[in-house]
Structure 1
């Protein structure tokens, strides 16, 4: 975030900075969502909703799981939340007591472990690399489990690697967690932004006992609306609702009414076209980075990130500072995402237009020389 602030300061000073650090695509929010938001404002729909969210939006999310994944998820198990962060906060609060831990992959999204610390828990980090598809598997979870472990938190596709967990590996993790009467938390906020030949199945296709975090930010293009959802196991609804009532009162009413338009065919067509555009950007960026001198051992399968290895002798934080200060291209050091070989890696996004990515790669190639 410090690098981003510096990059934005350079922008404000009139410097042409190529932004390849932010996890937010350059697409506008689809027009039907904006129109629904305006209708909500003009219609005076500004009062509190239930803490669990609008019933019709919860039903729409349930319908989305049915149509996209073939999952029968009862709407009563779905809570609409203040962003995916709100969903993860609720799930963490429900399963972690002070001193407990959750098994997580390193590298991974940093807020996941920070939320644990909020409730007195900690991350049981497990180093993963290209040999593990940058994902946990059953053997890794089993090996990391100790007397204070309450479960595992997975992300697929993952930030910062863009990796998608293979179904066989996910099944093994579920087996290990279930055998220990643990909890499985699954971050699927990028799940609709995948580029595999066959779209991956939601974890809810394999188990009803997972806490699943979803988001309207990434695929649906509603980052500033701050809206997500949490699917809880049967029997956990009452506790989740109590926490939501106390922590958030309710999600944004206007954002919820806007999100009702996210599932109509016109909006879905826009978002699918954007997903194809992101795949085209990925297909340019990864070979271009490799040619420039970065190591990218695995093609990212989802989201909009490349976790690239620096040439030997370079350190991530110093390189990112040089890239920004001297070449005016902003990327993120691996040290933002964990500890395992973090100084050897950087995260580079393809959330900008293709011409901007081409210019960014040119600048990064010069920075490597």
Structure 2
């Protein structure tokens, strides 16, 4: 094995995380948890707007009750006619930030997307009340228009007419990921034993799901360049020319390393797919896209081939909200592949989806995705809770409206400062490139070499187990980090979530790592 431990793995990632966290709590030191990917901020104004909208909606419901006006316990959702005017009048005398944001959000939908005021406000009001099943069940109509605009901006796609992408609102990015895996398999676009490619290191479930008994895929890892200013070396993506690879799974920007794929590699991937692999399905997770200035996604290059997964948990500090979506192009290659299937596969689809429609061959991939999210039998009551769709819409509007750009720039500046604070005691530099800087993937072998020399690292690799370092940090310093090997990375790497800790706390984490490394070297 090389000094850096290429290709090595460790014990179960979540088991180890629990053990390390427990050791940190028992250490007697203040716990500095840089292990979980949860930010230490929360975005307040679109949340305040959500609750202010709810206050208006409840008041309007009681005022228009068709049941009784004597008992305030009961109410009915108000009619759309005149609702926008009523909301505007109530908000006009409310100077609170949430109310001002809500005024601007409603107006933005009218000005930028051409929404009719009453229909737009009525969807928000009924949605925040949860006063009916999601209809359409895939995603509410105005919500989809807002989220498509958000998607185009976040993904760096070219502006164009609405309807180019179809979205399915989900219970966060994790649910979106699970639904995509299931629907690809149920529709025999990827079968048991088929080969898929995964860009590693990667968020752990992308490594674990394909190996579950239900799926049983043959996994080819496309490894990222280590500690470099680019994500992939020149020839890495050439492996996708192999026609046996049915799908390519990638988190971009990455996790545990948070680099985005640079433009030259995106162009290479685009040309490869268009020329040699027009049938390739690319599943791209973009949870960290907002942290890279000028980010351009694979979706922007290959809209027909990409199934995009997105989460609002990171940028908006909404890990508990569980808000996300799946997006596919209106002319997705998945529909083309389904249409070309043989009679056996078509008959299997008819048996599965026949309760939804009499014309199963015409049922789009995204509609199958919605049905599969509730095992088809509960298709009539699928869909993300409407209050959640409204909160997601307000988050998206916070991104799209003029103040959003300044807020994103402030977060990026803060994360860059935190990154420098962490690495300062370690005498190494950030890898550079298009880095979201949400995480830092620290090459401990590089730290040892920088601080003590190459010979010291060679000697340390002979006698030390890098898998012990997270436990040493927890036990002796109260510091929680994640081993890079748990993500399919290198054994001498550890991941620290820059978003989870303050600048001073990250400086303390850096000092703790340096102390452990120094002690290991000096024996």
What's the TM-score, normalizing by structure 2? Answer: 0.62
What are the superposed Cα offsets for residues 278-316 of structure 1, whole Å, 9 maximum, x if unpaired?
A: 222123323x1532xx68655671141111112333433
Question: Rg bigger for which structure?
Answer: 2
Displacement of 1:320: 0.4
Change (3 A) 1:303 1:78: farther
Q: Is the 8 A contact 2:197 2:247 kept in 1?
A: yes
Q: Is the 8 A contact 2:227 2:443 kept in 1?
A: no
Change (3 A) 1:57 1:363: same
Q: Is the 8 A contact 2:34 2:497 kept in 1?
A: yes
Q: Is the 8 A contact 1:101 1:148 kept in 2?
A: yes
Structure 2 equivalent of residue 45 of structure 1: 130
Structure 1 equivalent of residue 32 of structure 2: 18
Displacement of 1:242: 2.4
Structure 2 equivalent of residue 256 of structure 1: 389
Q: Is the 8 A contact 1:104 1:136 kept in 2?
A: no
Q: Is the 8 A contact 1:107 1:128 kept in 2?
A: yes
Matches within 5 A, 1:172-183: 172-178=268-274, 179-180=276-277, 181-183=279-281
Q: Is the 8 A contact 1:37 1:254 kept in 2?
A: no
Q: Is the 8 A contact 2:171 2:322 kept in 1?
A: yes
Displacement of 1:62: 1.2
Task: Select which of 461, 468, 489 maps to 1:318.
Answer: 468
Matches within 5 A, 1:78-93: 78-92=167-181, 93=183
Structure 2 equivalent of residue 226 of structure 1: 322
Tell me, what secondary structure is at the counterpart of 2:130?
A: coil
In structure 2, distance between residues paired with 1:348 and 1:101:
32
Q: Is the 8 A contact 1:46 1:254 kept in 2?
A: no
Task: Select which of 485, 493, 497 maps to 1:335.
Answer: 485
Matches within 5 A, 1:1-369: 1-6=14-19, 8-9=21-22, 15-37=29-51, 39-40=53-54, 43=58, 44-45=129-130, 47-49=132-134, 50-67=136-153, 69=156, 70-72=158-160, 74=163, 77-92=166-181, 93-94=183-184, 95-118=189-212, 119-130=215-226, 135-136=231-232, 139-143=235-239, 146=242, 148-178=244-274, 179-180=276-277, 181-194=279-292, 199-209=294-304, 210-235=306-331, 236=335, 238-248=364-374, 249-262=382-395, 263-264=397-398, 265=401, 268=404, 269-286=406-423, 288=424, 290-291=426-427, 297-298=431-432, 301-311=435-445, 312=457, 313=461, 314-338=464-488, 342-351=490-499, 352-369=501-518
Tell me, what secondary structure is at the counterpart of 2:144?
A: helix
Tell me, what secondary structure is at the counterpart of 2:320?
A: helix
Displacement of 1:26: 0.2
Change (3 A) 1:301 1:55: same
Change (3 A) 1:284 1:28: same
Change (3 A) 1:283 1:113: same
Per mean C-alpha deviation after superposition, the further-off stretch among 200-209 and 315-324 is: 200-209
What's the TM-score, normalizing by structure 1? Answer: 0.86
Displacement of 1:144: 5.8
Q: Is the 8 A contact 1:157 1:303 kept in 2?
A: no
The total of aligned residue pairs comes to 361
Per mean C-alpha deviation after superposition, the further-off stretch among 309-318 and 354-363 is: 309-318
Per mean C-alpha deviation after superposition, the further-off stretch among 243-252 and 211-220 is: 243-252
Displacement of 1:17: 0.8
Q: Is the 8 A contact 2:257 2:439 kept in 1?
A: yes
What are the superposed Cα offsets for residues 311-344 of structure 1, whole Å, 9 maximum, x if unpaired?
A: 33343321001111121101000121115xx212
Per mean C-alpha deviation after superposition, the further-off stretch among 294-303 and 25-34 is: 294-303
Change (3 A) 1:128 1:274: closer
What runs of 5+ residues in structure 1 fail to find an aligned partner? none
* CA RMSD of superposed structures (Å): 2.9
Per mean C-alpha deviation after superposition, the further-off stretch among 203-212 and 217-226 is: 203-212
Q: Is the 8 A contact 2:195 2:217 kept in 1?
A: yes
In structure 2, distance between residues paired with 1:365 and 1:272:
30
Displacement of 1:272: 4.2
In structure 1, distance between residues paired with 2:425 and 2:385:
40
Displacement of 1:355: 1.4
In structure 2, distance between residues paired with 1:278 and 1:296:
12
What are the superposed Cα offsets for residues 144-203 of structure 1, whole Å, 9 maximum, x if unpaired?
A: 6545310322222101111111111112123323422211222211111115xxx12232
Displacement of 1:251: 2.0
Q: Is the 8 A contact 2:196 2:219 kept in 1?
A: yes
